[in-house]
Amino acid sequence: MACPRSKFAFLTLPRYSMIALSTAVEPLRMANKLTGQSVYDWSIVSLDGQPTPASNGLQLSPTVPLEQLGPVDILFVCGGVEVQEAVSPKVLAALRRLAERRVPLGALCTGGYALAKAGLLDKYRATIHWENLSALREEFPRIHLSDQLFTIDRDRFTCSGGVAPLDLMLHLVESKLGARVSQLISEQFIVDRVRSDRDRQYVPLRAQVGVSHESLIKVAQRMEENIEKPLSLDEIATATGLSRRQIERLFKRHLNCVPKRYYLQMRLRRARELLLQTSMPIIDITTACGFQSPPHFSRCYRAQFGCPPSAERQTRQGKPGVQPHEPDPARLLP
């Protein structure tokens, strides 16, 4: 049974991220290959139709002029380094015209800055690369920014950089073609699991608080070095030369949480990595991440991630009906 074709366009800004664009396009290509149909079309676009140099100096061809693009299901703005300089008045005007025509808009990596500058993310939930989160929160307070890998809010599709576009595209593929096709694509690309919009991009503490807060960074590093046997706050204070009160003030002022909560979240994040990326028994993960018992670990994990560790482990092992062998294309489409 034929599936309606979807067309995506990728508007490349000067010095865009090649890895972000590649990991967005490749799942579409693989979906076509696995299903044996042209389920997706895509175009690389620039304002004038000339290939745009990526941040690595490479250019993609063919590149078409935006005005000759025709109808698309989503247009993604592809950003990279020095995105503020890359967003010209012509780019902003073009994006506003697309929004007036009700074209769904997305962004890869720092491309969200262009949508934000054009006023097209106001009152939307959105995601951008962690290096730009703090600056965008200050400059565009009407946007509900998160540290998620990707965010879909009505007709806006935004994601972080690196390989996060792969996760966004796998989510879109699953919505269109089903979980089996999405899982098979991830297997082709040697991806351990398909991440969802519940997954967060890792934001280094130094990026959250700035390089001037060395005391806070030193405390967090001490916590990270002692995951299996968590230190008490008094022990951390002694090791870092700070008082309990100083540490509590630092966490409250810059992270809006108490040290104990931050430490727990760090240990749970490590536990989730072990659950999803290794075959360690849950009882061993419990010990490795400093929890008193499996029930205690399970309660903390459910409170943080919304499901118990056993359910998270089942997600990693794949969904029923997904076969690891080469699929029959005729059987993949609904």
Residue 318 has pLDDT above 60, yes or no: no
- CATH 3.40.50.880 domain locations along the chain: 6-188
* pLDDT level of residue 327 (50, 70, 90 thresholds): very low
Residue-wise pLDDT tens digits, 22-37: 999 999 999 999 999 9
What fold characterizes domain 6-188? Answer: Rossmann fold (3.40.50)
Distance CA 272, CA 153 (A): 26
Q: Is the pLDDT score of 250 beyond 60?
A: yes
Q: State mean pLDDT over 214-224.
A: 87
The model's pLDDT over 269-282, given as tens digits with 9 standing for 90+, comes to 889 878 876 788 99
CATH architecture of 206-316: Orthogonal Bundle (1.10)
Q: What is the pTM of this model?
A: 0.69
Residue extent(s) of CATH 1.10.10.60 domains in the chain: 206-316
The residue-averaged pLDDT of 105-124 equals 96
Whether residue 215 is predicted with pLDDT greater than 80 in this model: the reply is yes
Q: Check if the beta carbon of residue 157 is closer than 8 Å to that of residue 168.
A: yes
3-state secondary structure string, the chain? CCCCCEEEEEEECCCECHHHHHHHHHHHHHHHHHHCCCCEEEEEEECCCCCCCECCCCCCCCEEEHHHCCCCCEEEEECECCHHHHCCHHHHHHHHHHHHCCCCEEEEHHHHHHHHHCCCCCCCEEECCHHHHHHHHHHCCCCEEECECEEEECCEEEECCCCHHHHHHHHHHHHHHCHHHHHHHHHHCCCCCCCCCCCECCCCHHHHHCCCCHHHHHHHHHHHCCCCCCCCHHHHHHHHCCCHHHHHHHHHHHHCCCHHHHHHHHHHHHHHHHHHHCCCCHHHHHHHCCCCCHHHHHHHHHHHHCCCHHHHHHHHCCCCCCCCCCCCHHHCCC
pLDDT score of 328 more than 70? no
